[in-house]
Structure 1
Amino acid sequence: MGRLLDNLAVMLGRAPRKPAFLTPAAQREFARQNSKEGKADRKRRIAEEREENYRSHFWRNWRWISIVVINLLFVLSYRADIQLVEGALTASRFVGFHMADVNSALQVMLAYKHVVINLVIGTSTVVFIWWLVGGRSFCAWACPYHLLGEWAEMLHLWLARRGLAKDHQFHRGLRTALYVVFAALAVVTGYTVFEVISPVGILSRAFTYGASLALIWVGVLLLIEVFYSRRFWCRYICPIGMTYGFVGATAPVTVTYDLANCLHEGKCRDVCMVPHVLEMTKIGYADDVRINIGADCTRCGMCVEVCPSKALTFDIKGLNKLL
């Protein structure tokens, strides 16, 4: 329970902390790594890894396919008029069964000031699905803006290496504050204000029903992310990811960190969209030898792909490693 509450606090914006207490197993492992033999072994493994130049795109490719397929289902169902999936990611019907994005449902019920039964039914199914896969997996595996943001991030990093862009960081608590603001606006105005500016809904509706002027706002966000602040919307603004973080905080599917295999190079944090969830990969920051990554993790798999020593892997609680 203590680790869960700590993970949620970090997701809400609190800076990760170096642990005050280490388990005996973690103490022994750090002692081994800091010994003369351990340091020599780590140095050797790092040299071997750099010669191999390890990197995989296995999970990235599957994520991109997942995002395209999920969003394409809405488009093809509408264009072909087969009524398989109707609506958009914010609210839809799958073969006639109501489904609703959790954050959108909350916004609607706050605006209406009463519980909408259809939304409760549709949201329950969505909650179970995204709880099962865990964390903010909706962001990495379904959200169309995430895919555009990922491409924008690639361009940002390319420009940054040439001194043409810089990442201006904001306090992560800004997202929590805006979460409360959007909820309050729904209650006060009786209108789902967030849905007007959400690039997720804008893109989903545009793909299915056609372009609108709202796409200009999406373009502005992408320009900010390319030139001014890396992953600006997802890291500092969007309440959707935080909502799914709460949903998937206790999920059976996790990314697990193995201290004994870690070389502490920091490559995982370099590629992570939410690097604060990987703070335990720093030397002295892991309080146990095996740790499940926190609720703010998008389950994107990029840290798993870039880790040469398999210190980060996808796991299912109670079962052996998948990779």
Structure 2
Amino acid sequence: MNKVHQARFFEQIAIMFGRGPKKPTEITERAQQVHELKRMANKVEVRAAILKAHEKPHGNTWRNRRWAFLLAVNLFFVVSFYFDIQILEGSLSASRLIGFHLIDLNSALQVMLAHKHIIVNLVIGTATVLAIWMLLGGRTFCSWVCPYHFVAEFAEKLHLWMAKKKLVSDQPMSRGLRTWFWAIFAFAALGTGYTVFEAISPTGILSRALIYGPGLALLWVAALLLFEVTFSRRAWCRYVCPIGLTYGVVGIVSPVRVKYTLQGCFHEGDCKKVCLVPHVLETVVKGRAVDTEVILGPDCTRCGACVDVCPTGSLKFDIKGLSKIL
């Protein structure tokens, strides 16, 4: 890892914890050459190239794959419980797959902090889940498994429609709040001996409601969705949920990532408009890419929305060490 990439690596970690993106001070020579060529490009020719790129409407390939996988995972819990086939028992917080324990990392952390010691039964399940999400990219859990993420997507569409009609306005908040909430929930578990976050986690609430039936806790989920529709777009995922931060840290060194290629990008910004975490796409802003190929930061959920919407294929999924082989 050269000096430029090393600086960006640590910058992306800081951004994940809430720091705002900054214009890079160090850019590789090859990236500088591409930036300069883009600045000198004929505007008429560029506009013609943009129109040609948009001739073929973008699809929703990755969104459809993601929705299918997310629904399949959550319905597997439902079917296993309903027919008592005991293949997958429990919920997303803690489960057993054919008798093998699987524990959500944030839930495991909450339990161990509440009990103030490492519980042996949690270790194996936690280690297994840790290995899975280190390989796939931690925040892949958010967009490919979490049921709240799924329903929040529809709330987001309603919010954007209402905002366009000027019925509501979006109120952004500091992303640093998520780090503070992570610490608050951790200290709450440590101080009270109770897994406070698990009681209000919409991920756990929806997972249990799907499997065991609805309860009053769904009113809390409805209140969150109403807040996101009327006040702040995707507020829970962006500014509060400690699960996202936990899995973001886990996925820092993940081989599965989204790669940005500077050369073909027209810097239109459509990718940032559809992204749940647009700060990871700061590199697509004209003049911001530190190299001709840049890997998006660990806060990326690997949802594929930016890949679907990019007209030039400048954003693609990539597997470290295998992209040149595949």
Q: Structure 2 length as normaliser, TM-score?
A: 0.96
Residues 135 and 266 of structure 1: CA distance in aligned 2, closer, same or farther (over 3 Å): farther
Gaps of at least 5 residues in structure 2 are 1-5
What is the aligned partner in structure 2 of residue 3 from structure 1? Answer: 8
SS in structure 2 at match of 1:242: helix
TM-aligned CA distance change 1:53 to 1:159, over 3 Å: farther
Closer, same or farther in 2 for the Cα pair 1:41/1:234, shift >3 Å? same
In 2, the alpha carbon distance for the partners of 1:272 and 1:187 equals 34
- Match for 1:162 among 138, 160, 165? 165
Pairwise mapping of residues 1-323 of structure 1 onto structure 2 (< 5 A)?
A: 1-37=6-42, 39-50=43-54, 52=55, 54-320=57-323
**Alpha-carbon contact 1:58-1:305 (below 8 Å) kept:** yes
Q: What is the Cα deviation at residue 40 of structure 1?
A: 4.3
Go from structure 1 to structure 2 and tell me whether the alpha carbon gap of 1:103 and 1:279 turns closer, same or farther (over 3 Å shift). same
Secondary structure of the structure 1 residue equivalent to 2:46: helix
Identity %: 54
Offset at residue 320 of structure 1 (A): 2.5
Kept in 2, the 8 Å contact 1:135–1:294? The answer is no
In the alignment, residue 72 of structure 1 is paired with which amino acid?
L
In structure 1, list runs of 5 or more residues that go unmatched. Answer: none
Equivalenced residues, count: 321
Which amino acid counterpart does residue 38 of structure 2 have in structure 1? Q
Shift of 1:166: 1.4
Deviates more, 1:200-209 or 1:128-137: 128-137
Q: AA paired with 2:72?
A: V
- Displacement of 1:41 after TM fit? 3.8
Q: Distance in 1 between matches of 2:107 and 2:199?
A: 11
Aligned-residue CA RMSD (Å): 1.4
- Partners in 2 of 1:215 and 1:261 — Cα distance? 46
Deviation at 1:32, TM superposition (A): 1.0
Does the 8 Å CA contact 1:272/1:302 hold for their aligned counterparts?
yes
**1:304, 1:314 within 8 Å by CA — same for their partners in 2?**
yes
Q: Which SS does the other structure have where 2:252 is aligned?
A: coil
Amino acid aligned to 1:76: V
Report the Cα offset of residue 143 of structure 1.
0.2
Q: How far did 1:31 drift?
A: 1.1
Distance 2:305 2:57 in 1: 13
What are the superposed Cα offsets for residues 31-58 of structure 1, whole Å, 9 maximum, x if unpaired?
Answer: 1111144x444222112234x2632100
Is the 1:67–1:144 contact (alpha carbons within 8 Å) kept by the matching residues of 2? yes
Q: 1:7, CA displacement in angstroms?
A: 1.2
